[in-house]
Structure 1
Amino acid sequence: MKIIFFIATIAALAGCASFDPALPTQANVDLNKYMGTWYEQARLPNSFQRDCVSDVRADYTLLPDNTIEVVNQCKQKDRSVKAAQAEGRLAANAPDFSKLQVRFAPRWTSWLPMVWGDYWIMKIHGDYEYSLVGTPDRRFLWVLSREKRTDQRVVKELLAYAANHGFAVQDVTTTPQ
């Protein structure tokens, strides 16, 4: 009887567990080509960008130790500029440069796994003209471009790709540049 109860409990718990299917990422990312300035065109709302109302951009610089300097900035409602610096690195066990992690917390906390956020390059469009970035839990998503003004067809194509991979693109907000 105990064995039947144990098996039934495991089966019930397994049925309740949520499973995120693997998130595909872009093959053969060239980090040198990825570096530079990216302008945010759309994103899933998140708490750390709630004050950002326009002109959201990220600047990436590859450092000699193969880490990435990240500087994010945006305009807030009062038109002031908000900036945040971070460090990026290759995710543990990542087969290539499509799976990165970013840390905005102080350097002394870098040994803590929870201070690193996933930054997975899902798709690159054109010759590094557009990038679709997300997280494997599907909570965070960004459409980035090299230019402030974009081809909205490409942005919609990237969002459709994200929707096909489980992202709630109906909640996406566009970013005025």
Structure 2
Amino acid sequence: MFKKIGVGFLMSVLLAGLSGCTGVPDKVKPIQGFELPRYLGEWYEIARFDHSFEEGLTEVTATYSMRDDGGVKVINRGYSKEAGTWDEAEGKAYFVESASTGHLKVSFFGPFYASYVIMELDKEDYQYALITGPDKDYLWILARTPSISKNVRAQLLEKATAAGYDVSKLIWVEHGQVDA
């Protein structure tokens, strides 16, 4: 998402882009009845699978807003304790299917897109979400607040486990340690 992008990662993005990385992993179904206007705004990253593009980052947020072309502007931001700096990446996202299906394609690198699949969402209040990418190497828990209840955590972990994700690999993101 941010600054530590190595050649290996760029090659994997290139290969993924060439192979069409906008699919949905096995045992995962994008949510239906999705309402983009309710999803827009700031989300806190509660947990994630580790990746080089987010390595060592805390205080991670994702902010979604509308683009002039009808797509979604994505701003991912996190704090590197090691460097003592904030890192930010801007991307864009578009629906893969209908606007009521929680399946988008997102790009932070030119013409290369990857799936952004909302596999669980608090449809009543839009307060938490479980997100995956094109395969089971990607998993995020997002919330409107820097923490979630034990019940919501258990529900999301159960959903991810049932879909075949190894939730023991999740990194739980620190929040509230640094002034924005």
What fraction of aligned residue pairs are identical, expressed as a percent? 27
Quote the Cα distance in structure 2 between the aligned partners of 1:55 and 1:152.
Answer: 20
Give the match for residue 116 of structure 1.
113
| C-alpha distance after superposition, 1:56-84 (max 9, x if no partner) | 00000022422010000001023310100
The letter for the 2-side match of 1:85 is: E
**Which residue, 16, 21, 28 being the options, matches 2:26?**
21
Question: 2 CA distance for matches of 1:83 and 1:21?
Answer: 31
* Aligned residue number for residue 5 of structure 1: none
C-alpha distance in 1 between matches for 2:150 and 2:45: 13
Structure 1: unaligned runs, 5 residues or longer: 1-19
Partner of 1:172: 170
Contact persistence 1:23–1:136 (CA under 8 A): no
How far 1:22 moved relative to its partner? 4.3
Moved over 6 A (4+): none
Give the 3-state SS of the residue equivalent to 1:104 in structure 2: strand
Q: State how many pairs are aligned.
A: 148
Asked if 1:89 corresponds to 2:86, the answer is no
Please report the RMSD computed on the Cα atoms of aligned residues, expressed in angstroms: 1.5
Q: Are the equivalent residues in 1 in contact too, given 2:106–2:115 (CA < 8 A)?
A: yes
One of 157, 160, 163 as aligned partner of 1:162? 160
Contact 1:73-1:81 within 8 A present in 2 as well: yes
Rg larger in structure: 1
Contact 2:45-2:60 at 8 Å conserved across structures:
yes
**How far did residue 101 of structure 1 move?**
0.9
User: 2:30 is matched by which residue type in structure 1?
Assistant: T
Distance 1:166 1:136 in 2: 14
Q: Structure 2-normalised TM-score?
A: 0.77
Select which of 122, 135, 149 maps to 1:151.
Answer: 149
Number of the residue aligned with 2:105: 101
- Deviation per CA, 1:21-72: give whole Å up to 9, x if none: 34112111100000000000011111211131x1000000022422010000
Q: Distance in 2 between matches of 1:138 and 1:103?
A: 18
Q: Would the alpha carbon gap of residues 123 and 55 (structure 1) be closer, same or farther in structure 2, given more than 3 Å must change?
A: same
Report SS of the residue matched to 1:97: coil
CA contact (8 A) 2:73 2:92 kept: yes
Q: Amino acid of the residue matched to residue 116 of structure 1?
A: Y
Distance 1:121 1:21 in 2: 14
* 1:119-166 deviation per Cα after TM superposition (whole angstroms, max 9, x unaligned): 001111241000110124211000000011321321221011011001
Q: Which letter does structure 2 place at the counterpart of 1:118?
A: S
Query: Equivalent residue of 2:94, what SS?
Result: strand
2:60 aligned residue:
56
* 1:45 match: 50
In the aligned structure 1, how far is the partner of 2:119 from the partner of 2:44? 17
